[in-house]
């Protein structure tokens, strides 16, 4: 069989068809390459990524590498095999990301078998055809007898195209699709290795749980993003940004203060044990490890990143859960609608419905993170206030409100008993000058105003009666204590309880925020009270 194939190829080598086969194979390979690199993931089509400069670059590169045996066997053929092997994952999961890289590093033989069995056979057929086209191009290009100088010329031509596509057009190497792929692949593999190394070296928690008497069967913690309290109508904003929460039964804190002005600073301190009077927090003692130690079944369901410089502190908390679901590799990846989390919540509730263990689901939203209009995922803005960014920002409150309502509906239908839900945002924003915007200013991350720390915080439970407002000033540095009380967990660790009791109406005094600054000494940045047109 092999000798027959070999003889057939040799006959083609001497045939006038060698050159057309080489060109056809290279063209098919170049046209399919965007799919193999994961660029067509989602609703994108191949045609969107067909660019004559990139196509010509690939064909010239294949031709040049095919002219010498060493570059053919050690560069061209391995490249074709790498792209071909990645093609099924690229179509199913997109470009190389932290999620894909970590899955690759942690894959077991059983998981590999499961992946192969669950992947449509058509994708493997495409991968085989893609590899065959690339190898055919390499083989027949190598049979074309040309002067050595011609090979160098085609190589220089490929380099010239690469230069023109990127730096010559005032852009970057990311415009070269293959260069972008390998850059993403290399960096994600590096960061993923760092992530896994840090997880492996994480210290064990030192919780001393004395009792765990949860009042509810199911607990849900929804973590919002970049929301100021004063733009929510449930807290008095004149536009109807939170219609469900306006009438929902539950307890709403009207003076909750987050520890920091961005996610990386604030959220780890909201979820972890903090050394009193300092900015230091424990990386091992957090609400997830506490829930684990108290016998809860824990879930982390996130629409923010699994890895990367900005995601790492939060991801290191999330990975301690018994079950994890990540919709994105990095918070800066292409936007995924928060509503995509709802089926994951439903599946988690149904999966654990028959268990006698209490459970807690941590749900991390993308929420109102800038840029606001990308968070609408094609929805029309619900408001028209004469500022497009604010139209979108206010609409994200409507989306959060709807998300909470639908999560409550899921709990009523699938929790299998009593339940309680807590929502809080990690930090607020402040109005900063920004040339080029509708009003010359826009809401952005900041650290110098009270509204950078004033966030919504409320609790809705299956046994809630009436819409109650808790006016107590409460520091977010005590959130772990509040969540532990809410879940009925008691520990004997030092400095874990403070006065006044977290859920009482007694206020904390001298509230500090990150950087050892006093909250009440910060200036105000009041909400703009728009009128919708």
Q: Which residue did the predictor score with more confidence, 95 or 425?
A: 425
Region 171-182: mean pLDDT is 73
- Position 532 in a domain: no
pLDDT at 505 over 70: yes
- In this structure, the answer to whether residues 267 and 337 fall within a common structural domain is yes
The tens digit of pLDDT for each residue in 477-495 reads: 999 999 999 999 999 998 8
Region 444-464: mean pLDDT is 95
- The torsion angle over the Cα atoms of residues 495, 498, 503 and 507, rounded to 10 degrees, is -140
- CATH code of the domain in which 395 resides: 3.40.720.10
Region 424-447: mean pLDDT is 87
Q: Looking at residue 92, what is its pLDDT?
A: 78
The H or E element spanning position 424 is strand 419-425
Q: Looking at residue 415, what is its pLDDT?
A: 81
Domain termination residue (choose one: 200, 219, 252)? 200
Name the residue range of residue 507's domain.
209-521
* pLDDT band of 121, cuts 50, 70, 90: confident
Share of the chain above pLDDT 90, in %: 54
* pLDDT band of 334, cuts 50, 70, 90: confident
* pLDDT band of 333, cuts 50, 70, 90: confident
pLDDT at 170 over 60: no
pLDDT at 262 over 70: yes
- In this structure, the answer to whether residues 163 and 242 fall within a common structural domain is no
Count of domains in the chain? Answer: 2
* pLDDT band of 523, cuts 50, 70, 90: very high
The tens digit of pLDDT for each residue in 397-425 reads: 999 999 999 999 999 998 878 999 999 99
Lowest mean pLDDT among 36-45, 119-128, 248-257, 260-269: 36-45
Q: What share of the chain is helix, strand, coil (3-state, %, to 5)?
A: 50, 15, 35
pLDDT at 246 over 70: yes
- In this structure, the answer to whether residues 292 and 422 fall within a common structural domain is yes
- In this structure, the answer to whether residues 298 and 192 fall within a common structural domain is no
Q: With contact defined as beta carbons under 8 Å apart, do 365 and 401 qualify?
A: no
Beta-bridge mates of residue 219: 360, 420
Angle between helices 18-36 and 121-143 (to 10 degrees): 140
């Amino acid at each position: 069989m092999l000798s027959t194939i070999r003889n057939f190829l040799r006959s083609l080598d001497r045939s006038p068809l060698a050159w057309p086969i080489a060109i056809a194979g290279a063209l098919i390979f170049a046209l399919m390459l965007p799919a193999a690199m994961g660029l067509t993931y989602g609703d994108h089509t191949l045609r969107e990524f067909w660019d004559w400069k990139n196509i010509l670059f690939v064909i010239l590169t294949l031709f040049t590498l095919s002219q010498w045996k060493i570059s053919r066997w050690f560069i061209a053929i391995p490249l074709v095999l790498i792209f071909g092997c990645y093609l099924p994952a690229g179509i199913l999961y997109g470009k190389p990301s932290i999620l894909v890289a970590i899955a690759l590093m942690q894959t077991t033989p059983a998981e590999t078998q499961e992946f192969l069995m669950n992947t449509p056979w058509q994708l493997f057929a495409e991968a085989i055809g893609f590899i065959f086209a690339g190898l055919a191009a390499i083989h027949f290009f190598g049979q074309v007898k040309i002067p050595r100088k011609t090979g160098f010329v085609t190589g220089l031509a490929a380099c010239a195209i690469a230069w023109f596509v990127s730096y010559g057009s005032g852009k970057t190497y990311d415009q070269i699709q293959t260069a972008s792929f390998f850059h993403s692949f290399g960096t994600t593999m590096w960061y993923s290795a760092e992530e896994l190394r840090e997880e492996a070296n994480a210290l064990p928690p030192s919780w001393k749980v004395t009792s765990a008497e949860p009042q509810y069967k199911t607990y849900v913690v929804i973590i919002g993003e970049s929301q100021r309290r004063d733009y929510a109508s449930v807290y008095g904003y004149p536009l109807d940004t939170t219609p469900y929460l306006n009438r929902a039964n539950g307890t709403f804190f009207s003076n909750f203060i987050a520890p920091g002005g961005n996610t990386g600073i604030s959220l780890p301190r909201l979820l972890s044990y903090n050394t009193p009077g300092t900015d230091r927090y424990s990386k091992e003692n957090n609400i997830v490890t506490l829930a684990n130690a108290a016998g809860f079944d824990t879930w982390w369901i996130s629409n923010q990143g699994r890895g990367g410089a900005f995601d790492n502190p939060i991801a290191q908390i999330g990975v301690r859960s018994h079950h994890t679901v990540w919709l994105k590799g990095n918070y800066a990846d292409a936007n995924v609608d928060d509503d995509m989390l709802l089926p994951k919540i439903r599946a988690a509730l149904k999966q654990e419905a028959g268990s006698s263990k209490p459970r807690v689901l941590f749900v991390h939203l993308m929420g109102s993170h800038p840029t606001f209009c990308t968070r609408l995922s094609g929805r029309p803005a619900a408001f028209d206030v004469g500022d497009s960014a604010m139209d979108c920002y206010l609409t994200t409150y409507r989306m959060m409100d709807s998300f909470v309502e639908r999560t409550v509906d899921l709990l009523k239908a699938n929790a299998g008993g009593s339940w309680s839900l807590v929502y809080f945002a990690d930090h607020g924003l402040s109005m900063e000058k920004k040339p080029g915007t509708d009003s010359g200013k826009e809401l952005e991350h900041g650290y110098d105003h009270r509204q950078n720390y004033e966030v919504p915080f409320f609790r809705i439970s299956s046994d809630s009666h009436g819409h109650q407002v808790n006016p107590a000033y409460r520091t977010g540095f005590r959130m772990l204590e509040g969540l532990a009380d809410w879940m009925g967990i008691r520990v004997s660790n030092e400095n874990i309880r403070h006065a006044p009791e977290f859920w009482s109406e007694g206020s904390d005094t001298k509230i500090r925020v990150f950087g050892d600054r006093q909250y009440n000494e910060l200036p105000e940045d009041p909400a703009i009270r728009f009128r919708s047109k």
